[in-house]
């Protein structure tokens, strides 16, 4: 019904008869829906379909945040999850009507009880026929129906679907690249306007707070004077070298590293916040003796970083010579493993002699097409294990690494091993 029109009880009774219904089967309240004037229609409203988790978040009064720059697809974030938001069409138009009365509020339960048909053996089909037969009965003499007008706020032909997705974190590394910490002596070169605290990063990155905190920890971002910073690679090597040198200087067993001694010994060389963060990144707790907690450096993390140091200083490296130099560079008692080169180097075993060169995942472009282009320019054929570290971040629940390779690469068999190459080779 349009605004300005007035529906009377007689009008409603005519509609009921036309529909072959009987008033005894209906509640006494008739709700008349009234469409708004186009000039007053609220076009700022949107419909969104929520899952149980999001609904509970709203009911609990928790905050939901929409995030995304103009060039990004929008996401919705709770405190610990990220949801992809997409517009979907409806097969029928949806009317938004505030305060619409549902069954119990309009007395339908009582009406059904009064008009229930005796006998449990009647089927729903028989009950429907009975209702249709009763619809021809006369409604003459019944009191006028109670009319309640309800205004339609808006009509919708689309709504938004939300589905859990991985946080979109590729942007984070780029945001922090410009403000890497390289030592107090080089702080004058940093553009202070580009420094970001947690809230500044949170506003720009499409991830929940919990997911963002986990990622900041994973990429080893350090809170320095309230701002999150990455360490310059050479500076990180300098600090780690200071820390590892203390093992030999103090004849410490690998599993009895003193945190207190380490921090105290290096406090004049390295800012406290960086030293504490680095120690936490590279060690695990081991034993506690006489009230003192001891630690052990993470062998795999230390060995992998020192491998990157060696690879950074050269182009292509003789593989045999590299492996020997790598073994010699790590603290005594730590064991290197070629598996640790995954994601940081390319090994070519087909050449003579075999060679290796640095190839770090975080240095590759964000665009997946550009990434695959560079991957296949750097090495013509890859096994799944070799290429996985470089494309794993693009995988989803529905599109795993194998599916990504099927989409962006061409599979073949080489010496009985399945390998992948550029999809469109010359």
Do residues 288 and 356 both lie within one domain?
Answer: no
Do residues 43 and 178 both lie within one domain?
Answer: no
| Residue 357 belongs to some domain of the structure | yes
Least confident of 136-140, 170-174, 330-334: 136-140
pTM of the entire predicted model:
0.77
User: Quick check: 380 pLDDT over 80?
Assistant: yes
Please report how the helices 368-378 and 401-408 are oriented relative to each other, as an axis angle in degrees rounded to 10.
80
Mean pLDDT value across residues 116-127: 45
Q: What is the pLDDT of residue 76?
A: 95
User: Quick check: 27 pLDDT over 80?
Assistant: no
Do residues 141 and 13 both lie within one domain?
Answer: yes
CA atoms within 13 A on the CB side of 122: 12
Mean pLDDT value across residues 281-303: 94
Identify which of 4, 203, 22, 213 has the alpha carbon closest to the alpha carbon of residue 115: 22
Calpha distance 272→280 (Å, rounded)? 12
Mean pLDDT value across residues 31-42: 76
Last residue of a domain, one of 209, 229, 249: 229
Identify which of 394, 337, 67, 20 has the alpha carbon closest to the alpha carbon of residue 202: 67
Q: What is the DSSP letter of 207?
A: S
Residue of higher predicted confidence among 40 and 343: 343
Q: What is the DSSP letter of 214?
A: H
Residue of higher predicted confidence among 258 and 124: 258
Residue of higher predicted confidence among 212 and 1: 212
Q: What is the pLDDT of residue 404?
A: 93
Query: What are 69-91's pLDDT values in tens digits?
Result: 888 899 999 999 999 999 998 88
Do residues 26 and 147 both lie within one domain?
Answer: yes
Query: What are 271-290's pLDDT values in tens digits?
Result: 999 999 999 999 999 999 98
User: Quick check: 4 pLDDT over 60?
Assistant: no
Query: What are 231-267's pLDDT values in tens digits?
Result: 999 999 999 999 999 999 999 999 999 999 999 999 9
Calpha distance 102→350 (Å, rounded)? 74
Q: Do residues 382 and 388 lie in contact, with contact meaning Cβ atoms separated by under 8 Å?
A: no
User: In 175-198, which positions are buried (b, 16+ CB within 10 angstroms) versus exposed (e)?
Assistant: bbeebebbeeeeeeebeeeebbeb
Q: What is the mean pLDDT of the chain?
A: 86
Identify which of 305, 359, 355, 308 has the alpha carbon closest to the alpha carbon of residue 334: 305
Q: What is the pLDDT of residue 142?
A: 66
Number of structural domains in the chain: 4
User: Quick check: 121 pLDDT over 50?
Assistant: no
At 311, the pLDDT band (50, 70, 90 cuts) reads very high
| Residue 3 belongs to some domain of the structure | no
User: Quick check: 371 pLDDT over 80?
Assistant: yes
Do residues 243 and 279 both lie within one domain?
Answer: yes
| Residue 341 belongs to some domain of the structure | yes
Do residues 14 and 74 both lie within one domain?
Answer: yes
Q: What is the pLDDT of residue 133?
A: 45
Last residue of a domain, one of 120, 138, 161: 161
Q: Give the domain extent around 319.
A: 314-422
Calpha distance 181→222 (Å, rounded)? 9
User: Quick check: 131 pLDDT over 60?
Assistant: no
Least confident of 25-39, 64-78, 178-192, 359-373: 25-39
Burial zone of 29 (CB within 10 Å; 0-12 exposed, 13-18 middle, 19+ buried): middle
Q: What is the pLDDT of residue 140?
A: 58
Q: What is the pLDDT of residue 424?
A: 73
Q: Do residues 290 and 327 lie in contact, with contact meaning Cβ atoms separated by under 8 Å?
A: no
User: In 409-420, which positions are buried (b, 16+ CB within 10 angstroms) versus exposed (e)?
Assistant: beeeeeeeeebb
Do residues 17 and 137 both lie within one domain?
Answer: yes
Do residues 218 and 240 both lie within one domain?
Answer: no
User: Quick check: 130 pLDDT over 50?
Assistant: no
Last residue of a domain, one of 206, 229, 252: 229
Do residues 146 and 70 both lie within one domain?
Answer: yes
Q: What is the pLDDT of residue 120?
A: 47
At 124, the pLDDT band (50, 70, 90 cuts) reads very low
Do residues 291 and 360 both lie within one domain?
Answer: no
Q: What is the pLDDT of residue 249?
A: 94
Dihedrals φ, ψ of 369, to 5°? Answer: -65, -45
């Amino acid at each position: 019904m349009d605004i300005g029109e007035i529906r009377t009880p007689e009008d409603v009774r005519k509609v009921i008869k036309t529909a072959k219904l009987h008033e005894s089967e209906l509640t006494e309240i008739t709700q008349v829906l009234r469409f708004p004037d186009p000039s007053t229609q609220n076009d700022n409203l949107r419909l969104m379909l929520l899952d149980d988790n999001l609904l509970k978040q709203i009911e609990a009064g928790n905050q939901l945040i929409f995030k995304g720059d103009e060039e990004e697809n929008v996401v919705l974030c709770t405190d610990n999850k990220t949801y992809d938001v997409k517009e979907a069409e409806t097969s029928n138009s949806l009317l938004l009507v505030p305060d619409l009365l549902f069954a119990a509020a309009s007395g339908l339960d009582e009406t059904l009880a009064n008009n229930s048909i005796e006998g449990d053996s009647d089927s729903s089909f028989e009950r429907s026929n009975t209702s249709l037969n009763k619809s021809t009965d006369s409604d003459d003499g019944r009191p006028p129906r109670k009319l309640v007008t309800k205004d339609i706020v808006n009509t919708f032909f689309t709504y938004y679907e939300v589905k859990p997705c991985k946080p979109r974190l590729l942007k984070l590394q780029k945001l922090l690249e410009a403000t890497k910490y390289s030592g107090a002596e080089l702080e004058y070169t940093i553009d202070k306007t580009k420094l970001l605290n947690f809230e500044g990063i949170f506003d720009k990155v499409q991830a929940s707070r919990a997911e963002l905190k986990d990622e900041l920890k994973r990429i080893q971002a350090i809170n320095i004077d309230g701002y999150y910073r990455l360490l310059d690679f050479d500076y990180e090597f300098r600090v780690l070298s200071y820390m590892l040198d203390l093992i030999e200087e103090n004849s410490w067993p690998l599993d009895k590293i003193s945190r207190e001694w380490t921090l105290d010994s290096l406090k004049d060389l390295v800012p406290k916040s960086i030293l504490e963060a680095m120690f936490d990144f590279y060690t695990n707790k081991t034993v506690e003796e006489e009230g003192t907690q001891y630690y052990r450096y993470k062998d795999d993390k230390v060995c992998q970083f020192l491998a990157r140091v060696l690879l950074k200083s050269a182009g292509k490296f003789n593989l045999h010579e590299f492996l020997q130099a790598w073994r010699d560079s790590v603290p005594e008692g730590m064991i290197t493993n070629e598996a640790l080169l995954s994601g940081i180097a390319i090994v070519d075993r087909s050449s003579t002699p075999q060679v290796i060169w640095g190839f770090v995942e975080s240095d590759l472009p964000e665009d997946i097409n550009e990434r695959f282009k560079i991957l296949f320019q750097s090495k013509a054929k890859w096994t799944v294990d070799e290429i996985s570290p470089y494309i794993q971040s693009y995988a989803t629940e529905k599109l795993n690494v194998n599916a990504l390779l099927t989409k962006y690469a061409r599979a073949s068999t080489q010496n009985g091993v399945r390998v992948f190459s550029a999809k469109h080779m010359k």
